[in-house]
Structure 1
């Protein structure tokens, strides 16, 4: 009997290595497991994604590997607050600077967003593993455990133009990442894990499956112009799903 108890304790030890991310403890063990083929099967085709190696991510900056998001029930759309009129050839450089900012200024373990899309519609891998599977981000305080963050590179204040190529690529990533059966026009019940969000820790929030960052946190993100495009974005995501 004593040996059996010791075996159980030894088996549980890997699950006790917790990260600093703000998910409920009950959700953490599954997040550390690699998704099975069936569970990971997407409901839409995978778009082209520029790998971290290709844009020059500094893997030495990564302080701690985050757990996997195994069930993407929601997508949060963000902006990065960069000037809108950049040259897309400069995006890899901007991505490297963004990683530095998120680690050194924000205090995060890596890039906070799972994916970043530039004005030309190119998708860049942010907080993902080498195969492109999302790791729990730092993009949506209180709601990171079951969501993916897609950031549009730019500011998008009221009256700004949101490029069609950018919107199309955001839709492609959202359609690919959302779990099978998720309704892009629907809502999802998420439980807040951090009182710094719009909802106290432990409170249930009914959010759009595809939400703007401001829906869960007190912020202007993703900018007035991009936020106004979310209904169109939901339509596009729905069209791309199997």
Structure 2
């Protein structure tokens, strides 16, 4: 068949970018001539420069349902095998618009030829070059540490690649008027596309282009996508109404496993990332990963973690992968139990001034899964607590050396694993007092040792005093702990300190109207 037999009009809708490595889109529109109830086009030039990584290709038409096939050739003119492109199961199919699946052709494709069945009119061939990515080696979007009270299962949101990461050119805008939804059910899909790629972010861009430029949707249909390396990509994002579940998308979160799992199953890394993502969302909405409940949008009773085919007639998420969903649910439960256990809060926080500019905090470590302790301070009990530092995992003390003399401070501490936090400890108060540094009494040198002290405190002076020596031990709030009297003629005093709590104490000596105060640190 000669090319002149075609009524061919090329309508290029190339995106204009400053670099060829950025995404490009183009279309060819054609009207087939049928022979024997079928058609086959002449070879057509691809209306794009050579693609990067792959050439994404799909077909739309009006008229009857049908099957499109396509084959592709590089510049050397050698044709590949014919590839069947059945109708896309996620798209809304109508006589006005039929949509094929998305196909990934070799990057060096320069010509395409299509064939189809009777009743297909006004074909549009869609071409998309995804361009280059500039992704870092690992997912970068990490959930910030937040204060919350763990209730059902505080699984943190796993790291993911945001839209700016997988579409660095900024040419994949999100829906400008998104609708929100209260998620109750988590729906697992497969892309039914390529299982190999050198740049999976480029595959995500191709799916975005297919959903927006071909299907006519406002954004990529899924909330999240996961590649075979276990990298999670943000689609519509959290609690956004998607376009993925048989036209009954309300109260669902759609997760697409990149690849075709008709005959093979996803990689271990991809399934692990899926379990983490589903564990986070199960915790977020308080859903039992093994449970079932009524889904209002579809009118069906669905498991909280379901496959696309549970909602309508489709092979998604693939004949090989769908039977593994019970294992995925079990993996979600296991991940929650092993990796998302609530962090026990530290207990029995105390605060004691150790000098004019130092307060020492002590607590009991009640958790075994923290990575650090977050130290917070305020100047009033109900004031605004500000984090002033961190202590490492398994720590039971912290020294605050940023206090001011003659000031009071309130403290609270919580444990963190880097993404989630425990509840707070009790609040502890310390008042930093200014005390005398005098070491003379009536001209005599007085020695107080050992200091710091763990057991017996010794006090000595050079010669006997005339009259009794009055002794008081106080805490830094000037509360009396112990008192005594030494008769004249003595040269020393011994006091047992071993039963006292650690902290700073004030030892006051008074004799015949003169007074000296010494700092004593109890270890």
Asked if structure 1 preserves the Cα contact closer than 8 Å seen for 2:292 and 2:304, the reply is: yes
8 A Cα contact 1:43 1:175, kept in partner = no
Among 318, 334, 338, the alignment partner of 1:223 is 318
Would the alpha carbon gap of residues 60 and 233 (structure 1) be closer, same or farther in structure 2, given more than 3 Å must change?
Answer: closer
Whether 2:171 is the aligned partner of 1:67: answer no
User: Residue in 1 aligned with 2:190?
Assistant: 79
* Contact kept? 2:172, 2:205, Cα under 8 Å: no
CA contact (8 A) 2:174 2:236 kept: no
Checking the alignment, whether the CA contact within 8 Å between 1:162 and 1:225 is kept in structure 2 is: no
Task: Select the residue among 99, 108, 114 that pairs with 2:217.
Answer: 108
Task: Tell me, yes or no, if the aligned pair for 2:184 and 2:285 is still in contact at 8 Å.
Answer: no
Distance in 1 of aligned mates of 2:239 and 2:160: 12
Partner Cα separation in structure 2 for residue 102 and residue 114 of structure 1: 13
Q: Unaligned 5+ residue runs, structure 1?
A: 1-36, 193-198
The structure whose Rg is larger is 2
Greater share of strand: 2
The aligned counterpart of 1:11 is none
Match of 2:155 among 35, 44, 56: 44
The answer to whether the aligner puts 1:99 opposite 2:99 as a matched pair is no
Q: Which residue of 1 aligns with 2:435?
A: none
How many residues in Structure 1 have an aligned counterpart in Structure 2? 187
The structural deviation recorded for 1:134 is 3.2
Change (3 A) 1:56 1:231: same
Which structure is richer in relative contact order (CA contacts within 8 A, separation 6 or more)?
Answer: 1
Asked if 1:146 corresponds to 2:251, the answer is: yes
Aligned partners of 2:211, 2:195: CA distance in 1, in Å? 20
Which residue in the other structure is 1:122 paired with? 231
Shift of 1:64: 4.0
For 1:17-56, what aligned pairs fall within 5 Å after superposition? Answer: 43-56=154-167
Alignment partners' CA distance in 2, 1:46 and 1:221: 25
1:206 maps to what in 2?
301
Q: Which residue does 1:181 correspond to in 2?
A: 286
Per-residue deviation, 1:143: 3.4
Change in CA separation of 1:147 and 1:186 when aligned onto 2, cut-off 3 Å = same
What displacement does 1:61 show?
Answer: 4.4
Distance 2:173 2:265 in 1: 34
For the residues of structure 1 that align with 2:204 and 2:231, how far apart are their CA atoms? 12
State whether residues 43 and 180 of structure 1, in contact with CA within 8 Å, keep that contact through their aligned partners in structure 2: no
Q: Distance in 2 between the 1:180 and 1:187 partners?
A: 14
Contact kept, 8 Å, 1:76 with 1:212, in 2: the verdict is yes
**Which one has the bigger helix percentage?**
1
What's the secondary structure of 1:162's corresponding residue?
coil
What does residue range 154-169 of structure 1 map to in structure 2 within 5 Å?
A: 154-158=259-263, 160-169=264-273
Unaligned runs of 5+ in 2: 1-146, 341-523
Give 1:163 shift.
0.5
Distance 2:174 2:192 in 1: 23
Matched residue, 1:195:
none
Quote how far apart the aligned CAs of 1:150 are: 0.5
Who is 2:380 aligned against? none
- Once residues 237 and 119 of structure 1 are traced to their aligned partners in structure 2, the CA distance between those partners, rounded to angstroms, is 18
Mapped contact 2:172–2:208 kept (Cα < 8 A): no
Distance in 2 between residues matched to 1:107 and 1:123, nearest whole Å: 24
Cα deviation for residue 60 of structure 1 reads 6.0
CA RMSD of aligned residues (A): 2.3
Name the TM-score, length of structure 1 as normaliser: 0.71
Q: Work out whether 1:237 is the aligned partner of 2:349.
A: no
